[in-house]
Structure 1
Amino acid sequence: MDGAQLHETASRTAMGLPAVFETEPFGEGAVVYKVVDKMFVMTSELRGVPIVNLKCAPPHGAALVRDHTEITPGWHMNKRHWITLAPGDGIDETLVEDLVANAYDLVVAGLPRAKRPLDPTRGGDRAGG
C-alpha cells in the first residue's frame, strides 16, 4: 500500500465510525481523529513519508511491530500504547481498517458508559461495550 492509500483508508475508516470528528490541533498536515474528544488516529508525514499513528493495546502492538517492518512503536506518542504505520507491501486495506476500528474500540471502551456513542449497527447498544 502506498502512502496516499494509507492516509485515505485510515481517514475513510475513522470517519465512518459513530461520533468521530477530525481536527488539526498540531497544525496543518497532522489530521487527528477523535471520539468524544479522545484521539485514536492521527495521519501525518515523517520526513516526507505519509504515516498513521493508532492507539493499540500493548500486547497487540508489540506483536504487530515484531511481525511487520512497516509498523513501529508510535512516533511522538506513548510507545507502549501507540503504533505507527508506514507505507509498504506488508500493509493492506483490511489491516488498516481493522487497526483503525480497534483503536476506536479501545478509546470508546475507556469512556464512561454514559459518554459512549450509540452505534446503530450494534442494535442500539453502545459502541465498544
Structure 2
Amino acid sequence: MQTQDPRLEIKHMVRRYDGRSVVNDVSLRVMPGQVTCLLGPSGCGKSTTLRMIAGVEMQDSGEIWVDGNLVCDTVFRIPPERRHIGLMFQDFALFPHLSVAQNVAFGLSGDKAAIADRVKELLSRV
C-alpha cells in the first residue's frame, strides 16, 4: 500500500516578535482532499501562521513542506511567488515586489499568452 504525501505539512513552527512568542511549536498536516480550518481568538497566531506558509513572513524555526518537498526552513527558502500558494490578506495587500498585472496573474496557470489575455480581461473590469 502506497502512502500519500501531505499536501501541506508544517513542523514545529515558531515565530516571535520582540521576544514574545506569537506562534509556538505549531505542527500541522493537511492531506489531499482534506479541508482544514485554523480557529482561535484574535491575536493567537492564525494569520501569522498562514503568512509563513505563503512565504510572505519568515519563521524563527520550523519547516514547511508542500507535496513532500521542503519549501522553507531557517536556511532554505523558496520565495512566495514560486510556492503557488494563494493567500487572501485581511488588508487586501499585494505582493510588493510584483506589478499589479503580476499580482493578478499570480494564481493563473497556462501558457504566457493565455495568462496575459486573462489578466487584461480581468483588469478591464476594474
Structure with greater helix percent? 1
Q: Which has the larger radius of gyration?
A: 2
Same fold (TM over 0.5): no
Greater RCO (Cα-Cα under 8 Å, separation 6 or more): 1
| TM-score (norm. length: structure 2) | 0.28
| TM-score (norm. length: structure 1) | 0.28
